[in-house]
């Protein structure tokens, strides 16, 4: 007689279940390919910039050896090389496949309740002056493209419901990469969550294939579908937006060429969303 192995099937979850089970402190991620909800900490992942990939691989190997059934590393990494990272191997991971990834629009999609004060960062005058300096440097041939970041600092007059805010992002951006990451530190007086919804995937690896989806150039959608089609065509034919996208695509291809044996780069951009 041959030995038999009994394997417990992985539970099948729906994206709506995972979104409903999210609580601040959990890790949540969803895209058109599926959703993931991670809870608890099996192990923290250390390592400085440049050594984090090795530290993550070692942490997952150790978790698998310890019996963790679905070892992954989740968290957030700062933009600057010297920024700290918040990476862990979670104790529990639940997934919803693309076939179960639909979330109904039962979540409220209006403005969050309460009153908000809004502060531009930087101030508008400072930002305008920065634009003028960037244009001058481009005109002088010193730079080809500049991305000037600006933001709005919003302060609510009441506590913010992170699960409600996350639900709005998922419902309003079903094809985006939506995330919620706990970034609380020992110095924080209260829990902190980093949440967002991005149409852009920086890089992903599936087996021996690496995929990048750089985006540049955008126009807002409106309720009128005929106007949306006009805007899509305007993006396709815009010399400015096509040039911006070419800069980004060339840079990404240049970086990936140092690590990949074969590259497939589209001849031109397309419009998504």
Q: Does residue 145 carry a catalytic annotation? A: yes
Q: Which of 136, 47, 134, 40 is nearest to 90 (CA)?
A: 40
Q: Look at residue 225 and tell me if it is in a domain.
A: yes
> Which residue of the set 145, 227, 233, 240 is catalytic?
145
> Which residue of the set 84, 123, 129, 200 is catalytic?
200
Which domain covers residue 256, as residue numbers? 200-273
Q: Which of 168, 171, 161 is nearest to 193 (CA)?
A: 161
Number of folded domains that form the chain: 2
How confident is the model over 217-238, as pLDDT tens digits?
A: 888 888 899 999 999 999 999 9
| Residue 7: pLDDT over 70 | no
| Residue 1: pLDDT over 70 | no
Q: Look at residue 32 and tell me if it is in a domain.
A: no
Alpha-carbon span 41 to 175, nearest angstrom:
28
207 and 153 co-located in one domain: no
pLDDT: which is higher, 156 or 82: 156
What pairs with residue 211 in β-bridges?
Answer: 204
Is the torsion defined by CA of 54, 55, 57, 62 positive or negative?
A: positive
Q: Look at residue 134 and tell me if it is in a domain.
A: yes
pTM (predicted TM-score): 0.85
Whether the ω angle into residue 122 lies within 30 degrees of 0, i.e. cis, is yes
207 and 273 co-located in one domain: yes
152 and 208 co-located in one domain: no
Question: In the listed set 122, 157, 192, which residue is the last one of a domain according to the structure?
Answer: 157
| Residue 108: pLDDT over 60 | no
Q: Look at residue 242 and tell me if it is in a domain.
A: yes
User: What average pLDDT does the chain have?
Assistant: 88
Q: Look at residue 189 and tell me if it is in a domain.
A: no
Give first-to-last CA distance, the chain, whole Å: 56
Reported confidence tier of residue 109, pLDDT bands at 50, 70, 90: low
Reported confidence tier of residue 110, pLDDT bands at 50, 70, 90: low
Please give the helix or strand (H or E) that residue 19 lies within, else none: helix 15-21
Supply 160's token pair: 């913010």
Question: In the listed set 157, 192, 216, which residue is the last one of a domain according to the structure?
Answer: 157
pLDDT: which is higher, 244 or 94: 94
| Residue 271: pLDDT over 70 | yes
Q: Look at residue 207 and tell me if it is in a domain.
A: yes
Q: Look at residue 240 and tell me if it is in a domain.
A: yes
Reported confidence tier of residue 78, pLDDT bands at 50, 70, 90: confident
Q: Look at residue 176 and tell me if it is in a domain.
A: no
| Residue 82: pLDDT over 70 | yes
Question: To which residue do tokens 């959703």 refer?
Answer: 35
């Amino acid at each position: 007689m041959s030995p038999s192995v009994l394997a417990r099937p992985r539970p099948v979850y729906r994206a709506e279940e995972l979104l409903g089970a999210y609580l601040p402190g959990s890790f949540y991620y969803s895209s058109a390919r599926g959703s993931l909800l991670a809870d608890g900490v099996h192990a923290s992942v250390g390592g400085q910039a440049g050594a984090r990939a090795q530290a993550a691989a070692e942490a997952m190997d150790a978790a698998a050896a310890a019996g963790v059934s679905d070892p992954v590393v989740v968290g957030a990494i700062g933009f600057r090389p010297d920024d700290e990272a918040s990476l862990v191997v979670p104790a529990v991971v639940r997934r919803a496949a693309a076939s179960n990834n639909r979330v109904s629009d039962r979540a409220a999609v209006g403005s969050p309740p309460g009153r908000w004060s809004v502060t531009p960062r930087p101030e508008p005058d400072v930002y305008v002056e920065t634009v003028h300096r960037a244009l001058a440097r481009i005109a002088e041939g010193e730079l080809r493209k500049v991305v000037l970041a600006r933001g709005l600092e919003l302060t609510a007059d009441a506590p913010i419901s992170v699960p409600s805010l996350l639900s709005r992002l998922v419902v309003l951006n079903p094809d985006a990469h939506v995330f919620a990451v706990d970034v609380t530190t020992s110095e924080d007086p209260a829990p902190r969550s980093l949440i967002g919804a991005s149409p852009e995937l920086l890089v992903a690896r599936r087996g021996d294939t690496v995929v990048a989806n750089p985006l540049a150039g955008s126009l807002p959608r409106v309720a009128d579908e005929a106007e949306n089609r006009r805007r899509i065509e305007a993006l396709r034919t815009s010399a400015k937006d096509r040039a911006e996208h070419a800069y980004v695509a060339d840079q990404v291809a240049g970086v990936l060429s140092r690590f990949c044996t074969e590259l497939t780069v589209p001849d031109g951009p397309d419009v998504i969303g």
